[in-house]
């Protein structure tokens, strides 16, 4: 008979006591694989307790995988392989995963390791995060929307869904983009897991090893390891104060044609530059002339605080050569992973097929909740709130930069929206790591400039993002930068 | 002055009336780009209403993109590009997307088109869906979990998260897999968007065009277009009643080595075959001998209804050559898109880097809600419920097949779990489309066999899934199949 001691004074229910003791006996090999537990009837009689108490304990043992029989009256201890000794296993390793992985994988993995979450120390002012301030996110409104869609349609929203994405959300986006002069129908929109996923899909569609692609120099840093992973030949075109240098671009396009030109026309990450309507038109005409697809990253389209409206390149795209990327990550919740591509129907068809081959379906529950959130007007409300806050934060940042960072030390951009400012040092004595150390020792964290350049450069630059910082912190942080550079 | 008529008797609020009428004027070009709206003060005076009412209408017009000024007292109608005439645009198309897309994309796109959602007609019995019966899904319990995590940690769960996936969920999975004899730590687990995403990541890691990979013949059909997209050289090994033919496999492995062997040991999709412990061990030893990574798809690991426990191949994997795929899609919600890969730490590192390059982060809210769901015991409860229901459904299916499908017409598998049965016709006069037509005319939908074969075959087979059908429907459906084949 098994030795089981019940403590009837204990706050632990009797069935948990039985479960716990049997579990220990199995783990400590007192009960061994193949051993039978007593029937629930006999054990309950022996212990003088209700039979259902024993049954409950036995069910939990089964559910946790300790025993085998699922239906009958007997429970048998299961055969579980022993935990492998780590050191032994390493010695006998047959496959060197890093070595057999495709070229490019190793670099990616080390990038991942180095770009881990940085930890902010007490009192430090962190200008790195580029997502909206968590303090400003309407979590509660979103929670209500999730609730509502799950209550109403949970069972169908938790099934596989339309490969293009939740139809009512695509309809909403089609309407919304029309307000920016972009005319696309809902089936010319593909919902993606963030813009990153969109760029990956486009890359999988158009790139082969060695394919030439054109990016601004500097450009959005997270895109570079992805293009490198696709083994693209990344060609850079200088980002001037007006945007991509169009003469340089034309000389690139007139050579061996690239498969893609990637551009960020609004508050470019990292330079903060917004291009003019005429620059956009010229860029589009160039791509049309050379029949090169243009990937327009409109990541912060609706976050313009100053100056007059400039319409997206896609709004002028009568020949359907532009793939437009939009996202909710910079205004709402980055963790939702909902963004979209708007492009020619034939292009969307191929991209959707690649997406489906890679993950079968998106998560409809999230997309339906976001759709409701937008339809209720919460998205517009959120935009208004962010505009109010960030217009002031940006003004504060620009004022502080003028006050605390002497012109002769550094020049900086004057963004019309978005979250980031870009500084270029004029005659800093030292290299980038030294600059970063100085910043850190003055209690301020910035993004080092080199990661935004695809080509090597001697320029010493850095980006600050005001996304997570309030006005007081912005002023103090920029003051510290001024001191660090002095 | 603008002509605005207010109806004070209407249930539509005044600000909505103003908004609606101005919107129409803009859309109908009565108000044109660049036109200024009257100041809110003058309009409110003219209409004899409160100024804030006008302001509210103006704010909505701005939020919807109809006007420009965001701060000042004047609002200007925005310049929106006209809707492009579809036919005109087509005529001037500069890029043929299907042509410039990489080879393999076109095939994918046509697969996507043909595999659209089939529509079930009234009275038809549909044996196609392989996901759990929506009627059995615990949507309400899950809703509560989503609620709880959003209330408690919404703001941080809606940010970017750990590239490996939500740590507590990985911890839970590590514990859960230990119950199946698999010993992996939480950092040897990567959460993926379904098993499909896992297989894609593994392919991106290991495959180059022309890479040899080994699959069972027949095998899980959704995997084939993905491998084809990667331009793999798909080598088939016959699936016998005992599982993959190991002699055939060895002769393949001893030639030019493949980069991967893909196997489904439990209730294989489509054949329903479960391999024995000793077959699993021999398969593992073969892969070890030739140092070939083994991808074990454990998609319905916990859905065994009959017979004794067989442990996963991964449980015997002391040399870390097995990548194990698990998923919640076949027991819980397929639309959640949460699955995982368990493998050697070095392998997971590379896979996580590829995943991060492709989408930056998973959705932590969903993963946290699922984690809570599991920790509360709802997952175990759901498993128990499904076991009870599906054990009986499977028994009913087997009984009906014996009763209504004569042995001389077709042989069929006797699955120990899962959802699917596989039928092979012995001397059917006609081809697969003819068989499918006969089934359809008898009011029953099945999955045609050819899509599961990577190599061409003369065998006439079909799969039925009992996932969405109750016992009565199963009996009636199989009776119809019998009649269709007679």
Kindly indicate the confidence band of residue B461, based on its pLDDT and cuts at 50, 70 and 90.
very high
Q: Do B360 and A196 touch (CB under 8 A)?
A: yes
Give the pLDDT of residue A154: 95
* Tens-digit pLDDT profile for residues A309-334: 899 999 999 999 999 999 999 999 99
Q: Among residues of chain A, what percentage have pLDDT more than 90?
A: 71
In a domain, B67, yes or no: no
Q: Which residues of A touch B331 (CB under 8 A)?
A: none
In a domain, A371, yes or no: yes
Give the pLDDT of residue A113: 67
In a domain, A109, yes or no: no
Mean pLDDT of A236-242: 96
Of A44-48, A208-212, A282-286, A342-346, least confident by mean pLDDT is A44-48
Give the pLDDT of residue A87: 45
**Which has the closest alpha carbon to A287: A309, A316, A327, A267?**
A316
Cβ-Cβ contacts under 8 Å between A and B: the total is 338
Instruction: Confirm if B252 and B272 have CB atoms less than 8 A apart.
Output: no
**Same domain flag for B295 and B443:** no
| Least Cα separation, residue B392 to chain A (angstroms) | 12
What SS3 string covers B238-301?
Answer: EEECCEECHHHHHHHHCCCCCCEEEECCCCCCCCCCCCCHHHHHHHHHHHHHCCCCEEEECCCC
Q: Do A356 and B112 touch (CB under 8 A)?
A: yes
Instruction: Bin A252: left if φ > 0, else alpha if -120 < ψ < 50, else beta.
Output: alpha
Mean pLDDT of B19-38: 84
Find, in chain B, the residue whose alpha carbon is nearest to that of A61: B179
Helix (H) or strand (E) run with residue A464 in it: strand A461-465
* Tens-digit pLDDT profile for residues A350-366: 999 999 999 999 999 99
DSSP string, B392-461: HHHHHHHHHHHHHS-TTTEEE---SBSSEEEEEESS-SS-HHHHHHHHHHTTEE-EEGGGG-SS-----E
Bridge pairing between strands A125-126 and A444-445: parallel
User: CA torsion, points B180, B185, B186, B191, in degrees to nearest 10?
Assistant: -60
Question: What is the CATH number for A8?
Answer: 1.10.10.10
Q: Do A226 and B357 touch (CB under 8 A)?
A: yes
Structural domain ending residue among the three candidates B315, B342, B375: B375
| Dist CA A54 CA B96 (whole Å) | 69
**Same domain flag for A238 and A312:** yes
Question: What is the CATH number for B144?
Answer: 3.40.640.10
In a domain, B302, yes or no: yes
Pick the more confident residue, B427 or A230: A230
**Same domain flag for A443 and A363:** no
**Which has the closest alpha carbon to B380: B134, B132, B138, B135?**
B138
Instruction: Confirm if B294 and B301 have CB atoms less than 8 A apart.
Output: no
Q: What was the ipTM of the complex prediction? A: 0.83
In a domain, B115, yes or no: no
| Dist CA B218 CA B451 (whole Å) | 9
**Same domain flag for B289 and B353:** yes
Mean pLDDT of A263-286: 97
**Same domain flag for B249 and B355:** yes
**Which has the closest alpha carbon to B329: A363, A183, A86?**
A363
Residues facing residue B294 across a β-bridge = B261, B322
Instruction: Confirm if A38 and A54 have CB atoms less than 8 A apart.
Output: no
**Same domain flag for A368 and A443:** no
Give the pLDDT of residue A10: 84
In a domain, B428, yes or no: yes
| Dist CA A406 CA A428 (whole Å) | 13
Q: Which residues of A touch B360 (CB under 8 A)?
A: 194, 196, 222, 337
Give the pLDDT of residue A70: 47
Bridge pairing between strands A461-465 and A420-425: antiparallel
In a domain, A447, yes or no: yes
**Same domain flag for B196 and B236:** yes
Pick the more confident residue, A113 or B155: B155
Find, in chain A, the residue whose alpha carbon is nearest to that of B308: A68
User: In A183-270, which ranges are E strands?
Assistant: 189-192, 212-217, 233-240, 243-244, 260-263
**Same domain flag for A205 and A318:** yes
Instruction: Confirm if B414 and B272 have CB atoms less than 8 A apart.
Output: yes
**Same domain flag for B131 and B157:** no
Kindly indicate the confidence band of residue B87, based on its pLDDT and cuts at 50, 70 and 90.
very low
Mean pLDDT of B358-379: 96
| Residue A109 dihedral angles phi and psi, to the nearest 5° | -60, -40
Helix (H) or strand (E) run with residue A403 in it: helix A378-404
Q: Which two tokens stand for residue B377?
A: 């015991």
Inter-helix orientation angle A432-441/A471-485, to 10°: 130
Mean pLDDT of A406-415: 92
A12 burial via Cβ count (<10 Å: 0-12, 13-18, 19+): exposed
Render the burial of B82-91: b for 16+ CB within 10 Å, e for the rest.
eebeeeeeee
**Same domain flag for A337 and A468:** no
How far are the Cα atoms of A156, A218, B126, B233, B386 from residue B468, in angstroms, in the given order? 13, 53, 8, 35, 12
Q: Do B335 and A225 touch (CB under 8 A)?
A: no
How far are the Cα atoms of A195, B250, B261 from residue B256, in angstroms, in the given order? 39, 11, 13
| Dist CA B444 CA A455 (whole Å) | 61
Q: Do A140 and B154 touch (CB under 8 A)?
A: yes
Q: Which two tokens stand for residue B258?
A: 């493949």
In a domain, B43, yes or no: no
Residues present in chain A in total: 486
Q: Do A358 and B291 touch (CB under 8 A)?
A: no
**Same domain flag for B355 and B397:** no
Best B13, B23, B95 member to test A by mutation, with max A CBs in 10 Å, is B95
Structural domain ending residue among the three candidates A341, A362, A380: A380
Whether the pLDDT of residue A482 is over 70: the answer is yes
Q: How many domains does chain A have?
A: 3
Q: Among residues of chain B, what percentage have pLDDT more than 90?
A: 71
Residues facing residue A464 across a β-bridge = A421
Question: What is the CATH number for B465?
Answer: 3.90.1150.10
Partner residue opposite A194 with nearest CB, options B70, B206, B360: B360
Domain that holds residue A165: 140-380
**Same domain flag for A130 and A145:** no
Whether the pLDDT of residue A280 is over 60: the answer is yes
Whether the pLDDT of residue A170 is over 50: the answer is yes
């Amino acid at each position: 008979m098994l030795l089981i001691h019940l403590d009837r004074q204990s706050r632990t229910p009797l069935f948990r006591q039985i479960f716990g003791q049997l579990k220990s006996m199995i783990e400590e090999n007192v009960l061994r694989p193949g051993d039978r537990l007593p029937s629930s009837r006999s054990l309950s009689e022996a212990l003088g307790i209700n039979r259902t108490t024993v049954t409950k304990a036995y069910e939990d043992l089964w559910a946790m995988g300790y025993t085998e029989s699922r239906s009958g009256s007997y429970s048998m201890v299961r055969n579980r392989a022993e935990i492998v000794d780590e050191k032994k296993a390493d010695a006998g390793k047959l496959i060197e995963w890093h070595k057999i992985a495709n070229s490019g994988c190793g670099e990616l993995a080390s990038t991942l390791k180095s770009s881990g979450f940085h930890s902010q120390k007490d009192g430090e002012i962190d200008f790195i995060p580029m997502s909206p301030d968590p303090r400003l996110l309407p979590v509660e409104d979103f929670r209500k929307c999730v609730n509502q869609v799950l209550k109403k349609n949970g069972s169908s929203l938790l099934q596989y869904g339309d490969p293009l994405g939740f139809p009512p959300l695509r309809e909403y986006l089609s309407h919304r983009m029309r307000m920016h002069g972009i005319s696309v129908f809902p089936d010319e929109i593909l919902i993606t897991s963030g813009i990153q996923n969109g760029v990956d899909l486009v890359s999988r569609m158009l790139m082969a090893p060695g394919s030439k692609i054109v990016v601004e120099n500097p450009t959005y840093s997270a895109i570079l390891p992805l293009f490198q992973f696709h083994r693209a030949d990344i060609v850079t075109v200088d980002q001037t104060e007006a945007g991509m240098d169009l003469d340089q671009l034309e000389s690139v396009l007139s050579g061996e044609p690239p498969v893609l030109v990637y551009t960020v026309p609004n508050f470019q990450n990292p330079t903060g530059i917004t291009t003019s309507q005429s620059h956009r038109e010229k860029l589009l005409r160039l791509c049309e002339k050379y029949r090169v697809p243009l990937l327009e990253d409109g990541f912060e389209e609706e976050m313009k605080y100053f100056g007059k409206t400039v319409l997206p390149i896609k709004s002028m795209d009568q020949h359907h050569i532009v793939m437009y990327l939009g996202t909710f990550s910079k205004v709402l919740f980055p963790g939702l992973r909902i963004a979209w591509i708007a492009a020619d129907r034939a292009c969307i068809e191929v991209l959707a097929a690649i997406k489906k081959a890679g993950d079968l379906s998106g998560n409809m529950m999230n997309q339906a909740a976001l759709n409701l959130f937008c339809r209720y007007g919460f998205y517009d409300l959120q935009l208004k709130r962010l505009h109010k806050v960030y217009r002031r934060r940006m003004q504060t940042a620009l004022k502080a930069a003028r006050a605390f960072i002497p012109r002769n030390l550094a020049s900086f951009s004057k963004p019309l929206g978005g979250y980031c400012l870009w500084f270029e040092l004029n005659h800093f004595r030292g290299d980038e790591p030294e600059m970063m150390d100085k910043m850190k020792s003055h209690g301020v964290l910035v993004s080092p400039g080199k990661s935004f350049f695809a080509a090597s450069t001697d320029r010493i630059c850095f980006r600050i993002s005001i996304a997570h910082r309030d006005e007081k912190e912005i002023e103090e942080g920029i003051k510290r930068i001024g001191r660090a550079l002095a």
